[in-house]
């Protein structure tokens, strides 16, 4: 369960020779998300990433409160154990040069014995069909393999909730299909932002964000129709 209580997000934008201007990125957000699959859609710059980043404590609310499984996201250490965050760009997300190294890095948090981490990391990568590229440079992987490697690293931390910011935007049709499917089959609650309307419609619940506000929420098909109407009206 993820709850937003009257949340707003503001940033200070510096202006030359004047006091900084306050810019509101998100306001008046009240939500209780209990559905297993929640999709978030909306135009570029509408606030989707900001909304997702709130769920992992990467962005702090200016007012209000965000709770994940009852934990206030101000307690970043606790909340980051609960929430795995998938970035749009897997090359920035992967911190080390090979999938095997990167998954091992994640495993440090859950496996104390160093010698156990390597076989476990290999096992996790193999279970995602990445065994053959485990020791390759991340720069030599396909976009799909990279995103799956990043996801494997995140899941190695055994999060309760997976939050994904446009995880398939950079992918071609086939890789998008593969990665979407992996997300659809996760046992965790998954909250994802996407520009892929078909995938958005497969969720159990959808949010439409526009201009820093939630302008519609509920049934995915209705929300997608609402969003299309908003854009092409």
Partner 1 sequence: MNQVFSIYVPGHSLMHRTPVWLKYVLMLGIMFSSIIVMQWWYSVLCLAVSMLLVLATGVGPRMGFKLSWGVYLMAGLLLAFQLFLGRPEIAVAVSVNIFAAIYASRMLTISTPESTLIDALVSGCRVLKPLGVNPETVGLAIGIMLKSIPMLMDTVGIMRQAAKARGMQSNYIMIMTPVVVRAVGYAQETGAALAARGLAE
- Given ligand ATP, partner 1, Mg ion, none, residue 175, with its beta carbon under 5 to 8 Å by kind, binds none
Nearer to partner 1, 22 or 95 (CB): 95
**Residue selected from 27, 39, 49, 104 as contacting ligand ATP according to rule CB under 6 A:** 49
Of 43-72, binders to Mg ion (CB under 5 A) are 49
- Given ligand ATP, Mg ion, partner 1, none, residue 46, with its beta carbon under 5 to 8 Å by kind, binds ligand ATP
Compute the distance between CA of residue 104 and CA of residue 86 in angstroms, rounded to an integer. 17
Count of residues in contact with partner 1, rule CB under 8 A: 34
Closest distance of CB 131 from Mg ion, Å: 32
Compute the distance between CA of residue 201 and CA of residue 67 in angstroms, rounded to an integer. 25
**Which segment (40-48, 95-103, 113-121, 127-135) binds ligand ATP by CB under 6 A?**
40-48
Q: How far is CA 145 from the centre of its chain?
A: 17
Residues in the chain: 233
**Residue selected from 13, 15, 16, 173 as contacting ligand ATP according to rule CB under 6 A:** 13
Spatial CA neighbour of 34 closest among 204, 225, 219: 204
Compute the distance between CA of residue 206 and CA of residue 105 in angstroms, rounded to an integer. 34
Query: Which token pair is 113?
Result: 């014995």
**Residue selected from 39, 46, 90, 206 as contacting ligand ATP according to rule CB under 6 A:** 46
DSSP 8-state secondary structure symbol assigned to residue 137: -
Considering the rule CB under 8 A, would residue 119 count as an interface residue with partner 1?
Answer: no
Contact in structure between 117 and 70 (CB atoms under 8 Å): no
DSSP 8-state secondary structure symbol assigned to residue 73: T
The footprint of Mg ion (CB under 5 A) covers 49
The footprint of ligand ATP (CB under 6 A) covers 11, 13, 23, 25, 42, 44-50
């Amino acid at each position: 369960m993820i709850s937003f209580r009257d949340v707003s997000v503001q940033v200070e934008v510096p202006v030359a020779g004047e006091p900084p201007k306050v810019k509101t990125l998100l306001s008046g957000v009240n939500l209780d998300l209990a559905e297993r699959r929640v999709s978030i859609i909306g135009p570029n710059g509408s606030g989707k990433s900001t909304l997702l980043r709130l769920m992992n404590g990467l962005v702090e609310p200016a007012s209000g409160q965000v709770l994940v499984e009852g934990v206030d996201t101000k307690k970043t250490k606790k909340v980051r154990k609960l929430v795995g965050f998938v970035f749009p760009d897997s090359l920035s997300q992967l911190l080390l040069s090979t999938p095997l190294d990167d998954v091992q890095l994640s495993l440090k948090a859950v496996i104390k014995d160093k010698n156990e981490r390597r076989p476990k990391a290999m096992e996790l990568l193999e279970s995602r069909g990445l065994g053959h590229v485990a020791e390759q440079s991340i720069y030599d992987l396909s976009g799909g393999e990279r995103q799956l490697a990043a996801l494997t690293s995140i899941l190695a931390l055994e999060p309760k909730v997976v939050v994904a910011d446009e995880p398939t935007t950079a992918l071609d049709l086939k890789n998008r299909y593969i990665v979407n499917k992996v997300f659809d089959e996760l046992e965790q609650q998954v909250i994802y932002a996407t520009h892929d309307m078909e995938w958005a419609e497969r969720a159990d619940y959808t949010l439409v964000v526009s201009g820093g506000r939630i302008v519609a929420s509920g049934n995915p098909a209705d929300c997608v129709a609402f969003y299309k109407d908003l854009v092409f009206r």
